[in-house]
Structure 1
Amino acid sequence: MSWEVQRFDGWYNNLMEHRWGSKGSRLQRLVPASYADGVYQPFREPHLPNPRALSNTAMRGPAGQASLRDRTVLGGLLPNASCHFQGVINRNSSVSRALRVCNSYWSREHPNLQRAEDVDSLLLGMASQIAEREDHVVVEDFSRTDHLASCLQRGRDVGLPSYTKTRAALGLPPVTRWQDVNPALFRSDGTVLEATAALYNQDLSRLELLPGGLLESYGDPGPLFSTIVVDQFVRLRDGDRYWFENSRNGLFSEKEIAEIRNTSLQDVLVAVTNVNPGDPCPQPRQLSTEGLPACAPPVMRAYFEGMSLLSAWIVAELWRRYLKRLQGQSRQSIMSEKLVGSMKEWQGRKEPCRPVLVHLQPGQIHVVDGRLSVLRTVQLRPPQQVHLILSSNRGDAVPYCSGSARSMTCPPRLLPPRNKIHVLLFDLGEERQVMLENLRGALKESGLSFQEWEPREQELMRAAVCMWDRICPCMSACGGALTCSGSTLASGPWQRESRDFLSPRKFQRNRGHQTVQQFKRFVENYRRRIGCLAVFYTVAGAFAAHHVGITDTTLVGIILSRGTAASVSFMFSYILLTMSGNLVTFLRETFLNRYVPFDAAVDFIASTAISYTVQAMCPLSILSCLFPGLFHDNGSELPQKCYWWFFQTVRGLTGVMLFLVLAIMYIFASHHFRRRSFRGFWLTHHLYILLYVLLIIHGSFALIQLPRFHIFFLVPVLIYMGDKLVSLSRKKVEISVVKAELLPSGVTHLEFQRPQGFEYKSGQWVRIACLALGTNEYHPFTLTSAPHEDTLSLHIRAVGPWTTRLREIYSPPTGDSCAKHPKLYLDGPFGEGHQEWHKFEVSVLVGGGIGVTPFASILKDLVFMSSVSCQVFCRKVTQTQRQFEWLADIIREVEENDHQDLVSVHIYITQLAEKFDLRTTMLYICEWHFQKVLNRSLFTGLGSISHLGRPPFEPFFNSLQKVHPQVQKIGVFSCDPPWHDQECGKGLSAHQQAGRDSFLPPS
């Protein structure tokens, strides 16, 4: 791409803008045009030899390396200003008349080059040096390197034609015999051509360009190299319309052209340097190996030398772990080869489940413990029958019944006596499936059959109707408390279809259409996140798109594209804005909230970290090319070892420290460590300051380009520091605790003073630090007080070390009732998605456990703001009714003040048996009867409706849309454990797949 752009620029300058010239300067037109300015640009053109590649290969090597025409000298002389040649001190302290090239490798600090005058003497001697004759002989000082071999390989890589094809393409006479390559060389020393012919198997057509051109040289460049150079310069001259000899362009007069022709390189050197016409000092004679020290023998240089101890330790550690694994496997007996694990055995109603293993043997099944001791055995031989039933309630239990048992899916206590029951529980359905597959294989080896029975639709319907007939009299006897539920069951799809069994054909839909609709709903619901991610990663991709040619085709690419380093600089800098809590809270109240999902800041950081990791790992092949650019193996310095690059350079040491800092921050930011040591997470997460300091130092050494990180980093860090200063100005004010109360389920209620000017909205959260537990450790909690109240309140559940210690500190004193509570530091408030509940006509609040705290503030605020025409449906999920007691007073207060029926609260108690269980059915009957008679819940004493089991989200969403058909958008706000959020999301997705899209996703 870059060469094509240069060719276009040269054509545009030559044909479209005659005034500009090759470089736009009259002084620069006096010199021949550069390669990139001419119209002719035969780069990688296969139809004829490439003059540039040929001339580059034939006439010069890489910068700073020896001549490819074998004109490299044996050594260098050191004359002074008076043309007296000085002696050279060798490594063995001897004195010679010239520097030996082969002994000058790997020695930048040479004893003969200590002063600036010594360097002048070396340059003066090199200027007067007599070069070696152009021939095929490589000097002894240069023969030990792989430079010529690498040039041969480079010619093969670029696709240079062979020696004979190049001569034919350039119009030179063909060469058919080896002696015709250089007749003079063949007459003086024919062994060279004979050895070359033997190397190429006497096939002259296989002779490569560089060896053939060198063999032609015998005191001159040879006809092939001379033709290549002449052809290249002629093309450059003819392709540049601004060449000084072109009188038609009107740039130079005849007098100026004659002046340029009469100016030689000697005149230029005399004019720009302080030399006399007699300079430089003439070399007395041609150098030879006589009088020069012998070349030091070549040595092997191992790059990883000195790291053998570390390598041996790594190998020994891996071998130790391998042996330990083998020893662990050898401890197991032969019976462990068919063991199936990852399951638990049900021991009884009041006994805990224990982990067991199942050993499958021909004709029997052994249940063993972790020490492989047999606990029980199930015989699989006739006439005994064994029924294997997969539970259908949760999908995780497999009861084994031996003897004449007729096992059912009901609890074991309902089975007839004298039946042996073995119940195994699995955590995952995949583990249960593996157990079944192993059981099938064991039975097949024993010659037994594994008969499977699946109930048909009619049998399922008959069982459901029989169950309904048994429950219906009980419901009627309780005053019709379950009439609504019964009518719902009676008006099921089987009555509407006028059939006696369900047909799955009614529910068949086009899966392709459902997938498209689901994708459309997903894009619509998450359009803000998708748009912001697209913009962010497009800009980040533009930074890293230097190799695809953006820098050569667009002005934006020229400004932005600086490779992967610029992309990382962009990500690491602007990610600070997502952690500016005060800024995010302020922007939530602006129009930007319509386009930017500020609530997804943490998710955005996680996605950026993943993308940065992928981006850093993908271009490893490209990054491997940086080392040759950093260290040019030209003999001027000795290659350093691997540990030197890592631990003895600023770039390497800061890179290793960056890796360690990121690893520590990642480990302590995981959910496991945060739950067990939040203080460790809090302290290690402040290493981000060290991270940015190391990042600046790491990039300041300009490994690839000039440092540019500060350009990206300056604006975000100033905004971030300003945000932190705002927090610092208010979070160091001591606040007195007015009331501290210990509530059931480990909940601590703190009521403290409201700072002056503290304005917040219901659903927002704050950070607090207890002075008795440390002044620098802040924890986030949601406010449970309403904005109209004079004090602030928090409900904190003791689930970790800090919250447990907080509950102990604020426990009521045993003797002194006038003791003061420790004061707090307060930082906030900060925005949250729940604070947007008032923007919807109908809002659904789903909370589980302590996650219901933001909804307490919302409910109190809703009742106080009676002018708000917003209806709220609150769904509270709890394991037991005791976990709900601390919130009962708040809901009771809301119910007493809710005169417009704006709030509807439903409570779901999940730690009970599933439906159709006898105890659950009786609880349902009593609860509905209590609600019907006293309009109060039997469990909570509130007017809210209590349910046993998990909330059915999909039917609830369907019924809610039927009740409010005129509402276009209904907001769903969830603050639950991850599994509960997933259930809510599944119910919402199922509702939207059915073609109903009036619900926004849970925030």
Structure 2
Amino acid sequence: MRNFQELALLDPDAKTTGQRILVFLQANFATGTGVTGWIMTACLGIIVWFAMDKRRRANFERFWYSHHLFVIFFLAWQFHGMWCMIKPDRQPFCSYISIGVFWRYWLVGGVIWTYERVLREIRARHKTYISKVIQHPSKVVEIQIKKEKTTIRAGQYIFICCPDISYFQWHPFTLTSAPEEDYISVHIRVVGDFTTALAKALGCDFDSKKGNEVNAGGGMVVGTNTNPPLKRTLPRVMVDGPFGSASEDYLNYETVLLVGAGIGVTPFASILKSIWYRMNGLNNSKPTRLSKVYFTWVIRDFGSAEWFHSLLQAIEDQDTQNRIEINIYLTAKIKEDDMTNIIVQDVGAEKDAVTSLRAPTHYGRPNWDKTFTSLVDKHPETDVGVFFCGPPVLSRQLRQMCNKFSDPIPGGTRFFFGKGTVHR
């Protein structure tokens, strides 16, 4: 717009203000350069608008479809310089050898992107089928999928497409199954249009409490290919992946501190399972140096991740040697009556009144100075891995704690920080 304004002011035929405004409008909306420029601006604005974190999480479909405006954006950019509005200062003037050559700059990236999309279609054709669907409380659906020739690592994520809903929508979900298990699984919170449609297609009904489902790990099996009473036709899903940094650095330490905050606990489902398998040498798992794991879960409301309670309870029940120590911090404000009931039930009880775990529930935020001091005392002369998934504020705080408590003297306790990402 600034350039068009300068052209309007410098136009020798525009004598009056009205004529200059007309020249300015013609340059913007009656020339190929102006029109393609506005198309690019509109496409970029829409992409940025729906890519905002809150909007993307509220409606992933709009984010997904609007992001494909980049195709129109690049096409408009290709034609943007071909109208020769500003002529070169030397011959050949307005030759396609010197103008409209933007394709040279995006050709390599475009070919790579096209190759990746074709590769995704090929990978998605691998045989997959849903072996079990479990409906958990708080509108969470667990999908167990059998896929041939799939090798995963703890903490990775996959893209899932359900053609019955939309052939073009691919949504990322963090894996909650361990590499040692014979299936891959995801836990999906039903919060958007796609997840609602997927849950319905899978046969979930969160409003109805009736049915012939059977309990399974804190949830209800609503579909399976192995149990005749529950056997039903489940929709096909296409899987692309797994992907992600999925760092296995935690296996390189004898002691690790795993910290999950809120929904950031999801990747640790896979990691904790894998650690437990490795520590106990089950399912042909590889041996590990790990001898002690501290898992800290910071959550505001337990109701949003009830499915994770079952996993922790299973690990705790089978961890007879106390290799995995669990600490849960509840940050929500509790009503006085509820607190009184908790205290009454907690007195003399073997398990926590809130979580039904042997591990106690702490109220309030963790005292990280106390936590790290305890680790230094319990594990002198040890390299401790600290792995976190959750909000950036807590990530920075943990990184600072690692730097603060790492002993600069060789042979002292040192902390190494790593951060993950959750997909839901």
Using structure 1 for the length normalisation, give the TM-score.
0.34
**SS at 2:383 equivalent:** coil
Instruction: Give the 3 Å change call, closer, same or farther, for CA 656–895 of structure 1 in structure 2.
Output: same
Q: Does 1:873 align with 2:294?
A: yes
Is the 2:405–2:415 Cα contact (8 Å) retained in structure 1? no
- Mapped contact 2:14–2:20 kept (Cα < 8 A): no
Check the 8 A contact 1:985/1:1001 in 2, yes or no. no
The match for 2:271 is 858
Matched residue, 2:94? none
Contact 1:880 1:911 in 2 (8 A): yes
Q: How does 1:894-905 map to 2 (within 5 A)?
A: 894-898=315-319, 900-905=321-326
Q: Assess, with a 3 A threshold, how the Cα gap between structure 1 residues 750 and 844 changes in structure 2: closer, same or farther.
A: same
Q: 2:111 aligns with which of 718, 734, 746?
A: 718
Whether the aligned pair in 2 keeps the contact of 1:971 and 1:999 (CA below 8 Å) is yes
Question: Which residue of 964, 980, 991 corresponds with 2:379?
Answer: 964
SS of residue matched to 1:767: strand
After superposition, the Cα gap between the structure-2 partners of 1:909 and 1:763, relative to the gap in structure 1 and judged at 3 Å, is same
Looking at structure 1, the residues matched to 33 and 14 of structure 2 have their Cα atoms a distance apart, in angstroms, of 27
- Identify the residue that residue 6 of structure 2 maps to in structure 1: none
Q: Which residue of 2 aligns with 1:765?
A: 157
Output the amino acid matched with 2:177: S
What displacement does 1:684 show? 0.7
Cα pair 1:766 1:828 within 8 Å, conserved: yes
| Residues 300/711 of structure 1: CA separation in 2 closer, same or farther (3 Å cut) | closer
C-alpha separation between the residues in 1 aligned to 2:69 and 2:338? 55
> Which residue of 1 is the match for residue 243 of structure 2?
830
Q: Supply the distance in 2 between the matched residues of 1:1000 and 1:897 (Cα, whole angstroms).
A: 28
From 243, 246, 262, give the equivalent of 1:849.
262
Contact 2:129–2:237 (Cα < 8 Å) also in 1: yes
Match of 1:893 among 306, 314, 333: 314
User: 1:739 maps to what in 2?
Assistant: 132
Structure 2 equivalent of residue 301 of structure 1: 15
Identity of aligned residues (%): 27
**1:835 CA displacement:** 4.4
Alignment of 1:56-205 (within 5 A): none
Matches within 5 A, 1:337-348: none
Choose from 774, 785, 788 the match for 2:180.
788
Does structure 2 conserve the Cα–Cα contact (< 8 Å) formed by 1:764 and 1:835? Answer: no
User: Which of residues 51, 54, 65 in structure 2 aligns to 1:683?
Assistant: 65
CA contact (8 A) 2:373 2:405 kept: no
Matches within 5 A, 1:408-557: none
CA deviations on 1:867-914 (whole Å, 9 max, x unpaired) are 211232211233344444312332233234435543222122222449
Residues 763 and 855, structure 1, Cα contact 8 Å, conserved in 2: yes
> Partner residue of 1:911?
332
Written as runs of structure 1 = structure 2, the 5 A alignment for 1:660-671 is 660-671=42-53
Q: 1:798 aligns with which of 170, 186, 190?
A: 190
Residue 394 of structure 2 aligns with which residue? 983
CA deviation string 1:534-576 (max 9, x = no partner): xxxxxxxxxxxxxxxxxxxxxxxxxxxxxxxxxxxxxxxxxxx
The alpha-carbon deviation at position 683 of structure 1 amounts to: 0.8
Aligned equivalents of 1:922, 1:817: Cα separation in 2: 39
Distance 2:62 2:305 in 1: 32
Aligned match of 1:515: none
Residue 924 and residue 875 in structure 1: after superposition, are their counterparts in 2 closer, same or farther (change >3 A)? farther
Matched with 1:810 is 202
SS in 1 for 2:233: coil
Q: Which structure dedicates a bigger proportion of its chain to strand? A: 2
Report Cα offsets for 1:18-73 as digits up to 9, x if no partner. Answer: xxxxxxxxxxxxxxxxxxxxxxxxxxxxxxxxxxxxxxxxxxxxxxxxxxxxxxxx
Amino acid at match of 1:772: D
Alignment of 1:13-412 (within 5 A): 301-302=15-16, 304-305=18-19, 307=21
Gaps of 5+ in 1: 1-145, 147-297, 309-640
Q: Shift of the alpha carbon at 1:658? A: 0.6
Distance 1:922 1:306, change over 3 A: same
8 Å Cα contact 1:785-1:794 kept in structure 2: yes
Match of 2:143 among 739, 744, 750: 750
Equivalent residue, structure 2, for 1:429: none
Residue 373 (structure 1) aligns with: none
Give the CA deviation at 1:682: 1.0
- Count residues in correspondence: 364
CA spacing shift, 1:305–1:852, aligned 2, 3 Å = same
Alignment deviations for residues 301-336 of structure 1 (CA, whole Å, 9 cap, x no partner): 34653857xxxxxxxxxxxxxxxxxxxxxxxxxxxx
State the distance in 2 between where 1:668 and 1:991 align. 36
CA deviation after TM superposition for structure 1 residue 766, in Å: 0.5
Shift of 1:798: 1.7
Q: Distance in 2 between matches of 1:921 and 1:949?
A: 17
Q: Secondary structure at the match of 2:327?
A: strand
- Please state how far the C-alpha of 1:856 moved relative to its aligned partner: 0.9
Letter in 1 for 2:325: S
DSSP 3-state at the match of 1:680: helix
Corresponding residue number in structure 2 for 1:445: none
Q: Indicate conservation of the 8 Å contact 2:402/2:417, yes or no.
A: no
Q: Give 5+ residue unaligned stretches, structure 2.
A: 1-9, 89-97, 206-210, 213-228, 280-286, 408-413
Structure 2 equivalent of residue 440 of structure 1: none
More helix per residue: 1 or 2? 1
* 1:721, distance to aligned residue in structure 2 (A): 2.7
User: Per-residue deviation at 1:849?
Assistant: 3.4
Q: Is the 8 A contact 2:372 2:405 kept in 1?
A: no
Change in 2 beyond 3 A, CA 1:719/1:964: farther
- Amino acid in the other structure paired with 1:868: T
Amino acid at match of 1:983: L
Q: Say if 2:364 is the partner of 1:949.
A: yes
Alignment partner, residue 655 of structure 1: 37
Deviations for 1:486-539, whole angstroms, at most 9, x for unmatched residues?
Answer: xxxxxxxxxxxxxxxxxxxxxxxxxxxxxxxxxxxxxxxxxxxxxxxxxxxxxx
- Rg comparison, structure with higher value: 1
SS at match of 2:19: coil
Given residue 293 of structure 2, which amino acid in structure 1 is its aligned partner? V
- In 2, Cα distance between equivalents of 1:921 and 1:944: 20
The 1:711–1:704 alpha-carbon spacing in structure 2 relative to 1, beyond 3 Å, is: farther
- In the alignment, the residues of structure 1 paired with residue 109 and residue 393 of structure 2 have an alpha-carbon distance, to the nearest angstrom, of 35
Q: CA deviation at 1:971?
A: 2.7
- Give the Å deviation of 1:299: 7.5
